[in-house]
A and B are shown apart, each in its own frame.
Chain A
Amino acid sequence: MKYDNDDALDRALFALPLEEPPGDLRAAILTATVYRPAPLFKPWEIAVLGGVAAVATWLIALVVLGGAPLFVHSLEAIGSTSEDLLSNYSTLAWIAAGGAVAIWLSIFTGFQPSARGVDAHRR
């Protein structure tokens, strides 16, 4: 076949069949995306569980090492510190600001192709 002009070449190009992908490709994509098994715990759940486990370990250690009076004293200390913190508007404002920044940053973590192109391609 002759490809003397653009039209003939275009016709040939557009008639060219696409490459046949491996048979399991579609299943692999779906398994990696929409049908991916949900993780047992979400990241924030793991953080909360870790925190709870740490506090529990600390409390158990306090009871084992210092007995009941130290335990009660520690609980009172925790209670009063928490009360002080939560009644301080400045602290609450900083906590709110930190949370807002964390949420804001989490919005921009996804991949976004841009029209910048690939430097290597331009070289």
Chain B
Amino acid sequence: MHAGPEDGELVAMTLGGNAEAFATLVERYDRAVYHLCYRTLHNVEEARDATQEAFFKAYRSLRTFKQGAKFSTWIFAIAYHACCDRLNRNKRYSNEEMPDRADPGPGPEREAIALDEARRLRAAIDALPEKYRTVITLYHLQGKQYEEIAEVLGLPMGTVKTHLFRAKEQLRKLLSAAEVLE
């Protein structure tokens, strides 16, 4: 919950010519959108560009934002589409294979030994296939709101739940493996 006007009101104010209102929306969501882009793209520069592109597209099509809809879901959907475009453009997208990491560090297992809990969890998330990683990232960002995750990804809710179940299962396996190595 945010202090101050609701997102919908800020959208209306922006459409009314209030630049500060859009700045407030950017302030509220830039970090979360960047997080989603970074977790999807695994590259600081690309995540930065995708985040910027998402807000630019949102700003340009603010008139199409439906009153009563959730701004966070809308901006995440735009950001996710921007990320998918980039992944497709770079021909790095594959459901079967792990995506290439642009900034590879040590492998998840070795990294887990050395790093703290949060970093260990991050490393495990990074090691998930892209479709599971995105679902887990959105689950983290949107809470347990499957419907909104489904809306962002454009997938049926059942698929989202299945992806999430498998993602958690894989996460647990990865984390246990890391623990054994410790």
Contact = CB atoms under 8 A, between A and B. Distances in A.
Nearest to A108: B64
B166 interface: no
Interface residues of A, number: 39
A111 B155 contact: no
A22 to B, nearest CB: 5
Q: Is the interface of B mostly helix, strand, loop or mixed?
A: helix
Chain B interface bracket (under 10, 10 to 19, 20 to 34, 35 or more): 35 or more
A33 B154 contact: no
Given A26-B30, A121-B153, 12 more contacts: A6-B168, A13-B136, A13-B140, A20-B31, A21-B34, A25-B51, A26-B27, A29-B51, A30-B23, A30-B26, A112-B61, A114-B154
26 contacts: A2-B179, A3-B172, A4-B172, A12-B117, A15-B118, A16-B122, A18-B31, A19-B34, A21-B34, A25-B51, A26-B27, A26-B30, A30-B23, A32-B52, A32-B56, A33-B26, A34-B23, A110-B61, A110-B64, A111-B60, A111-B78, A117-B154, A118-B80, A120-B84, A121-B155, A123-B95
Interface of A: 1-4, 6, 9, 12-22, 25-26, 28-30, 32-35, 110-118, 120-123
Interface of B: 14, 19, 22-23, 26-27, 30-32, 34-35, 38-39, 44, 47-48, 51-52, 55-57, 59-61, 63-64, 74, 77-78, 80-81, 84, 87-88, 93, 95, 117-118, 121-122, 131, 136, 139-141, 143, 151, 153-155, 168, 171-172, 175-176, 179
